[in-house]
Amino acid sequence: MKRIFLSLLFTGGLAVAAMAQSAQYESVMGKEVGELDSSKTYAPDVLQQKSNVFERIAAAEKNQWLPYYYAGYCEVMQALMTKDKEKIDGLADKAEANMDMAEALSPKNSEISCIRSLIATARLIVDPMTRGMKYGPESAAQLEQGKAYNPENPRVYMLQGQSLLLTPEQWGGDKVKGKATLELALQKFAAFKPESPIAPTWGIQHTRELLTKAK
Amino acid sequence: MWKFNLYLYLFIIAPICLLAQGKISGKITDGRKRALPGVNVFIKGSYDGATTAADGSFSFATSTTGDQILGATLSGYQSIEIKINTGSAQQVDIVMKSVANALRVVTISAGSFEASDSKKGTVLKPLDIVTTAGANGDLTSAIKTLPGAQQTNDREGLFVRGGTGYETQTLIDGMIVRNPFYSSLPDIPGRGRFSPFLFKGTTFSSGGYSAQYGQGLSSALVLESQDLPDRSSSSLGVSLIGVNAGLDNLSKDKKTSYGIEADYTNLAPYFNVIKPKQAPNLGPEIIGTSANFRRKTSATGMLKFYGYANWSKMGFETPSLEYPGLNESFKLRNNNVYTNLTYREKLNHDWHMYIGASFSTNTDDIVSDTISKHPTPTLIKVQSGLSQSRIVFDRNLGRFSMLRLGGEYQYAVERSAFDGRKMSFTDNYTAAFAEADIYFTPSFMGRAGGRAEYSSVLGKMNFAPRASLAYKLDNYSQFSFAYGDYYQKPEPKYILWDNGLGYMKATHYILTYQRMTKFTTFRTELFYKKYSDLVKTAPVYSNNGDGYAQGIEFFWRDRKTFKNVDYWISYSYLDTKRDFLNYPMRVQPDFAANHTASIVYKHFLPKLSTNLGLTYTFATGRPYYNPNLPADKFMSERTMTYNSVGVSASYLTSIRKAFTVFVLSVSNVLGNKQVYGYRYSSDGMRRDEVTPNVPRFIYLGMFMNFGIDRRQDVINNL
């Protein structure tokens, strides 16, 4: 009886330990993801630290897609911000590897498509003249894919709007359409309900900034 | 109950107590004791860790206890795991080794310039070729801005390091192209036949190349065709001199694609406005078509077909040098077909296989009234056919080393008829080669191999050893050395006349230093080339010719220093002499200049979305033959120096849904006088300058490109 009781308690204890782990996951992720909202985060070395933190969490929590997602997000942001174009491909490779891991855990994910679109954009920036033909359309195709997976994801519209706004007209850009798409993104942001406190929510501020530029 | 509380305590409270903090700090360096910033250091299985600072140091607290594994990762370096005990404060210093990945290992670079999107060591991109001013989208003209190539613009072909145009082989996907240039008229070079857009990679090897390739004494232009396109598209082009259209279709499963292309060029209207030196009396008119088919047969298998057919006719009339007051005429009709089929597949973990077959045929029908004033014009018909098959096996040896084995067979038919007098020969050529790339360390490698060849028409066998070494000093710089023996059959026209000839031979020695970052390239190359057994036509046909070529070359490309500017500078110094054909002694041949330099400048104006390009080429004068001088002054006189400035502008826009480019290109924009040599009448009394047919060529064109979805929109909007 005692043994049964003990073993029950033991498994209960494990469950509690697992919950403790999970609570740690939620709290650490909550803190780290929260910091992504701060503009201080958006400096290359801070982003590198952040991507390392998320990679550590990802390595410890092998069944969660979000740490991989955020690690890749920090890497692609770093790639887009760095002035040293020679670093971009390496960062894009790392971000891509993290997206592959994330996608294996969470297939057909609209958020992952958004990061993949940004990765293609980062690769394009390295050498627009020779890479434009390949990565421009790929970036756009990823967003289309993201829209197909989840038509309510505001980040898809934000990135599409940004692309329309910033791409020269002769390459398929369209300022008017860009602005309309960004306004649609704002509506989607307003209606968007993240799945959890640590699910991706970024972009609303950036959308507003883009819209002020569009005027 | 207390017991229960105890268990409760053990299982629920205890994990919280484990948060007792141990502190771990240290420093991470690479093998040369340089600090590594950005390293992710962590306790495996926990969230605890840190990122190293600029000085390589790190420090973090951990709640784990006892024996743990400390991990460290940084891309480009081998991950490290160390056992530590977190119980007490720990100081851990770690050395990380860089990973020898395919991007970091040394590669053979002696003698070769690569243009590719995918590979490292790339000097030019395919697009660079199209946007090089003055090249008019011709691959060969663009290659001529690289060191080693001569500005020999009065005859077609790539003249490399003292070699003739015949001594350069062109290969598409490993298969020889028998007639890579349009058949040309005297003094007017034919352009390359193939559009630069067909190729994802171009390697211009100015010497010391692999045992895979044979029958080129001086150079190999290795073209690698595109794989499956990213998406379907179609294109339409209109220019002052012609039209072209193409279609590229990718299947839904993205495994199969086909493409067709056709172009029509007619220079007659242009020459009606801008009178060329030699007045056209036929055409010039060219019809070209091509088709390709590509299929991904498995995850690693690829089947490619490419076929090209072309018809051209052109003829010019020039005042006769022999008979003043009379005109001489030369008319040429050419048919050309080239097809190749290649298949590559990975056989197992270690072995790769490549099989290829090609077929080409070329007919030149010439009606000439120039050779001498005959009562009837001379009729010349030259036909050549070549079938080739080739098989290559690659085997991986360890991580980067590899062994390459292969063989090829060529069946060539050469026929010529001169006023009905017919001559012909067929040749069965077989070759086998073996070559190994061995990495002694990731930064030091050697390549050694050889090639054995047998040609039935010559009835002779040869063996050509080849070897290279490459040593990498750091991430950016490396030295390479190459040595090799190269054999080539004499030109068919000499074999037709005399069957006693044997192979011509060249031996190459090349030393290269290269420093390459992502946006800059510096290269310098020192070479020595020894020729032997060159064909002589006087006093009798023989292989008694010989010669040498030596020189130094520099190349600098910079895409970083100036915003939106990309430029390269190349300089070649060439010292060469040869005794061949009808030369009475060893002299500098008439196709070689001592100093050649090019500056290619490209400027992108994003606001106007316009690309501007400027190419300046310079070459010192070339020797020419003056029959009025005594025999010991053979080829002693030089033509004037060659100067040429080409400019181009391309404006990118969109018309409806089609991405459109307007191109304006002007060759020799400053109108510099260019003299390539002189022709003398047989009595030596009169001479004529060999100059370009038109001093300046203006090209204006519009190219539209649209994806298939968009094309539908365009059609709907029309």
Nearest beta carbon to residue A9 from set B7, B16, B42? B7
The DSSP string of B59-103 is: EEEE---SEEEEEEE-TTB--EEEEEE-SS-EEEEEEEPBP--TT
- Cα distances from B152 to residues A124, B215, B431, B690, in angstroms, run 38, 21, 31, 12
Six-digit token pair at B294? 């590509």
Strand order in the sheet with B80-85: B49-51, B40-43, B67-73, B80-85
CA distance B44 to chain A (A): 7
Q: Give percent above pLDDT 90 in chain B.
A: 40
CATH value at residue B133: 2.40.170.20
Query: Is residue A85 included in any domain, yes or no?
Result: yes
- Cα distances from B73 to residues B39, B49, B529, in angstroms, run 6, 11, 49
Q: Under a CB-based contact definition with an 8 Å cutoff, are residues B576 and B593 in contact?
A: no
Nearest beta carbon to residue B49 from set A45, A56, A94? A56
Six-digit token pair at B439? 């990495």
Give the mean model confidence (pLDDT) for residues A158-162: 91
Kindly report which listed range (A27-36, B83-92, B425-434) carries the lowest average pLDDT score: B83-92
User: Assign residue B142 a region: left if phi > 0, alpha if psi is -120 to 50, beta otherwise?
Assistant: alpha
Query: Which pLDDT band, with edges at 50, 70 and 90, does B66 fall under?
Result: confident
Nearest beta carbon to residue A55 from set B7, B40, B230? B40
CA distance B204 to chain A (A): 20
The predicted pLDDT at position B373 comes to 60
pLDDT at position B110 over 80:
no
Six-digit token pair at B526? 């020192």
Nearest beta carbon to residue A86 from set B8, B49, B518? B518
CA distance B386 to chain A (A): 36
Single out the residue of B575, B667, B653 nearest to residue B615, CA to CA: B667
The predicted pLDDT at position B13 comes to 44
Closest alpha carbon within chain A to B14: A17
In terms of pLDDT, which residue wins out, B249 or A85? B249
Q: Under a CB-based contact definition with an 8 Å cutoff, are residues B394 and B422 in contact?
A: no
Under 8 Å CB pairs connecting chains A and B tally to 90
pLDDT at position B14 over 50:
no
Query: Is there a contact between B75 and A138 if contact means CB atoms under 8 Å apart?
Result: no
User: Assign residue B662 a region: left if phi > 0, alpha if psi is -120 to 50, beta otherwise?
Assistant: beta
Nearest beta carbon to residue B47 from set A56, A86, A130? A56
φ/ψ (deg, to 5) at B206: -95, 15
Six-digit token pair at B286? 């060219």
Nearest beta carbon to residue A56 from set B38, B42, B653? B42
Query: Is residue B366 included in any domain, yes or no?
Result: yes
Residue indicated by tokens 């692999």: B210
The predicted pLDDT at position A8 comes to 45
In terms of pLDDT, which residue wins out, B73 or B653? B73
pLDDT at position A13 over 70:
no
Give the mean model confidence (pLDDT) for residues A20-38: 78
Single out the residue of B281, B263, B173, B265 nearest to residue B221, CA to CA: B173
CA distance B217 to chain A (A): 33
**How many of the other CB atoms lie within 10 Å of CB of A177?**
13
Give the mean model confidence (pLDDT) for residues B498-502: 84
Query: Is residue B399 included in any domain, yes or no?
Result: no
Query: Is there a contact between A13 and B51 if contact means CB atoms under 8 Å apart?
Result: no
**How many of the other CB atoms lie within 10 Å of CB of A19?**
11
**Eight-state DSSP code of residue A124:** H
Query: Is residue A215 included in any domain, yes or no?
Result: yes
CA distance B140 to chain A (A): 20
Give the mean model confidence (pLDDT) for residues B615-623: 93
Question: Which chain A residues are within 8 Å of B46, Cβ to Cβ?
Answer: 56, 60
> Domain boundary residue among A92, A127, A162?
A127
Query: Is residue A206 included in any domain, yes or no?
Result: yes
Is the same domain home to B672 and B567? yes
pLDDT at position B613 over 70:
yes
pLDDT at position B1 over 50:
no
Nearest beta carbon to residue B51 from set A16, A49, A133? A49
**Eight-state DSSP code of residue B227:** -
Give the C-alpha separation, B691 to B276, whole Å: 11
Q: Average per-residue pLDDT in chain B?
A: 85
Query: Which pLDDT band, with edges at 50, 70 and 90, does B378 fall under?
Result: confident
Is the same domain home to A157 and A118? no
Give the C-alpha separation, B421 to B436, whole Å: 49
The predicted pLDDT at position A15 comes to 44
Q: Under a CB-based contact definition with an 8 Å cutoff, are residues B361 and B383 in contact?
A: yes
Q: Give percent above pLDDT 70 in chain A.
A: 87
**How many of the other CB atoms lie within 10 Å of CB of B85?**
11
Kindly report which listed range (A133-137, B159-163, B175-179, B538-542) carries the lowest average pLDDT score: A133-137
Question: Which chain A residues are within 8 Å of B49, Cβ to Cβ?
Answer: 52-53, 56
Q: Under a CB-based contact definition with an 8 Å cutoff, are residues B486 and B465 in contact?
A: no
pLDDT at position B480 over 70:
yes
Query: Is residue A133 included in any domain, yes or no?
Result: no
Question: Which chain A residues are within 8 Å of B48, Cβ to Cβ?
Answer: 56
The predicted pLDDT at position A18 comes to 47
Is the same domain home to B314 and B257? yes
CA angle in degrees (0–180, nearest 5) for A55-A57-A59: 70
The predicted pLDDT at position B325 comes to 81
Q: Under a CB-based contact definition with an 8 Å cutoff, are residues B426 and B383 in contact?
A: no
Give the mean model confidence (pLDDT) for residues B317-339: 88
Q: Which residues pair with B417 in a beta bridge?
A: B381, B422
pLDDT at position B507 over 90:
yes
CA distance B115 to chain A (A): 12
pLDDT at position B604 over 80:
yes
Closest alpha carbon within chain A to B37: A45
Nearest beta carbon to residue A16 from set B12, B231, B653? B12
ipTM: 0.81
Residue indicated by tokens 């008979």: B323
Query: Is there a contact between B659 and A170 if contact means CB atoms under 8 Å apart?
Result: yes
**How many of the other CB atoms lie within 10 Å of CB of B299?**
7
Q: Under a CB-based contact definition with an 8 Å cutoff, are residues B60 and B90 in contact?
A: no
pLDDT at position B708 over 50:
no
Closest alpha carbon within chain A to B58: A49
Q: Under a CB-based contact definition with an 8 Å cutoff, are residues B178 and B382 in contact?
A: no
Is the same domain home to B473 and B325? yes
Give the C-alpha separation, B526 to B575, whole Å: 12
Is the same domain home to B350 and B418? yes
Closest alpha carbon within chain B to A95: B75
Query: Is there a contact between A130 and B45 if contact means CB atoms under 8 Å apart?
Result: no
**Eight-state DSSP code of residue B327:** E
Q: Under a CB-based contact definition with an 8 Å cutoff, are residues B199 and B128 in contact?
A: no
| Domains: count for chain B | 2
3-state SS, one letter per residue, for B557-615: EECCCCCCEEEEEEEEEEEEEEECECCCCCECCCCCCCEEEEEEEEEEECCCCEEEEEE
pLDDT tens column, B43-56: 888 888 889 988 98
Kindly report which listed range (A180-189, B52-61, B368-377) carries the lowest average pLDDT score: B368-377
Is the same domain home to A44 and A121? yes
Is the same domain home to B193 and B88? no
Q: Under a CB-based contact definition with an 8 Å cutoff, are residues B335 and B182 in contact?
A: no
Give the C-alpha separation, A82 to A109, whole Å: 27
Give the mean model confidence (pLDDT) for residues B636-652: 90
The contacts of residue B32 (CB under 8 Å, 6+ apart) are none
Q: Which chain B residues touch A if contact means CB-CB below 8 Å?
A: 4, 7-8, 10-12, 15-16, 37-38, 40, 42, 44-51, 71, 73, 75-76, 117, 125-128, 230-231, 517-519, 604, 606, 609, 652-654, 659-660, 707
Closest alpha carbon within chain A to B126: A130
Query: Is residue A65 included in any domain, yes or no?
Result: yes
Q: Give percent above pLDDT 70 in chain B.
A: 91
Query: Is residue B606 included in any domain, yes or no?
Result: yes
Closest alpha carbon within chain A to B115: A130
> Domain boundary residue among B96, B117, B142?
B96
**Eight-state DSSP code of residue B420:** T
Give the C-alpha separation, B418 to B644, whole Å: 38
Give the C-alpha separation, B193 to B312, whole Å: 12
Six-digit token pair at A168? 């020269």
Q: Give percent above pLDDT 90 in chain A.
A: 37
Residue indicated by tokens 């008319």: B331
pLDDT at position B42 over 50:
yes
Q: Under a CB-based contact definition with an 8 Å cutoff, are residues A161 and A207 in contact?
A: yes
pLDDT tens column, B436-465: 999 998 889 999 999 999 999 999 999 999
The contacts of residue B394 (CB under 8 Å, 6+ apart) are B351, B352, B353, B354, B402, B403, B404
Q: Which amino acid is at B135?
A: A
Is the same domain home to B110 and B26? no
Kindly report which listed range (A13-27, B190-204, B453-467) carries the lowest average pLDDT score: A13-27
The predicted pLDDT at position B122 comes to 57
pLDDT tens column, B657-701: 677 778 888 888 898 889 998 988 888 888 888 888 888 888 888
In terms of pLDDT, which residue wins out, B563 or B621? B621
Is the same domain home to B90 and B109? no
Query: Is residue B190 included in any domain, yes or no?
Result: yes
Question: Which chain B residues are within 8 Å of A13, Cβ to Cβ?
Answer: 7, 10-12
Give the mean model confidence (pLDDT) for residues B473-501: 89
Query: Is residue A87 included in any domain, yes or no?
Result: yes
| Domains: count for chain A | 2
**Eight-state DSSP code of residue B209:** -
Query: Is residue B396 included in any domain, yes or no?
Result: no
Is the same domain home to A167 and A94? no
CATH value at residue B30: 2.60.40.10
Q: Average per-residue pLDDT in chain A?
A: 83
Question: Which chain A residues are within 8 Å of B73, Cβ to Cβ?
Answer: 55
Is the same domain home to B144 and B253? yes
The predicted pLDDT at position B192 comes to 82
Query: Is there a contact between B11 and A93 if contact means CB atoms under 8 Å apart?
Result: no
Domain range for A178: 152-215
Nearest beta carbon to residue B75 from set A49, A94, A130? A94
Is the same domain home to B346 and B292? yes
Could you tell me whether strands B687-690 and B57-62 are parallel, antiparallel, or unpaired per DSSP bridges?
unpaired
Is the same domain home to A185 and A115? no
CA distance B632 to chain A (A): 53
Is the same domain home to A122 and A168? no
In terms of pLDDT, which residue wins out, B301 or B135? B301
Question: Which chain A residues are within 8 Å of B714, Cβ to Cβ?
Answer: none
Single out the residue of B62, B66, B99, B69 nearest to residue B83, CA to CA: B69
Is the same domain home to B252 and B358? yes
Domain range for B31: 8-96
The predicted pLDDT at position B303 comes to 95
In terms of pLDDT, which residue wins out, B382 or B324? B382
Is the same domain home to B28 and B117? no
Query: Is there a contact between A16 and B652 if contact means CB atoms under 8 Å apart?
Result: no
Q: Which of A11, A83, A87, A170 to mutate to test the interface with B (most CBs of B within 10 A)?
A: A170
Query: Which pLDDT band, with edges at 50, 70 and 90, does B123 fall under?
Result: low
Is the same domain home to A187 and A119? no
Is the same domain home to A184 and A122? no
Query: Is residue A198 included in any domain, yes or no?
Result: yes
Query: Is residue B387 included in any domain, yes or no?
Result: no
Single out the residue of B153, B160, B123, B111 nearest to residue B136, CA to CA: B153
Single out the residue of B467, B493, B470, B579 nearest to residue B530, CA to CA: B579
Query: Is there a contact between A6 and B7 if contact means CB atoms under 8 Å apart?
Result: yes
The predicted pLDDT at position B572 comes to 95
> Domain boundary residue among B79, B96, B113?
B96
Is the same domain home to B88 and B187? no
Is the same domain home to A123 and A197? no
Query: Is there a contact between B38 and A94 if contact means CB atoms under 8 Å apart?
Result: no
Q: Which residues pair with B160 in a beta bridge?
A: B149
The contacts of residue A22 (CB under 8 Å, 6+ apart) are none
The contacts of residue A201 (CB under 8 Å, 6+ apart) are A192, A194
Closest alpha carbon within chain B to A13: B11
Query: Is residue B439 included in any domain, yes or no?
Result: yes
Q: Which of B47, B557, B654, B710 to mutate to test the interface with A (most CBs of A within 10 A)?
A: B47
Give the C-alpha separation, B311 to B288, whole Å: 6
Closest alpha carbon within chain B to A88: B518
Torsion of the alpha carbons at A131, A134, A140 and A142, rounded to the nearest 10: -110
Question: Which chain A residues are within 8 Å of B104, Cβ to Cβ?
Answer: none
Query: Is residue B404 included in any domain, yes or no?
Result: no
**How many of the other CB atoms lie within 10 Å of CB of B663?**
20
Q: Under a CB-based contact definition with an 8 Å cutoff, are residues B395 and B437 in contact?
A: no
> Domain boundary residue among B64, B96, B128?
B96
Query: Which pLDDT band, with edges at 50, 70 and 90, does B513 fall under?
Result: very high
φ/ψ (deg, to 5) at A30: -55, -45
The predicted pLDDT at position A171 comes to 66
Q: Which of A1, A56, A82, A166 to mutate to test the interface with B (most CBs of B within 10 A)?
A: A56
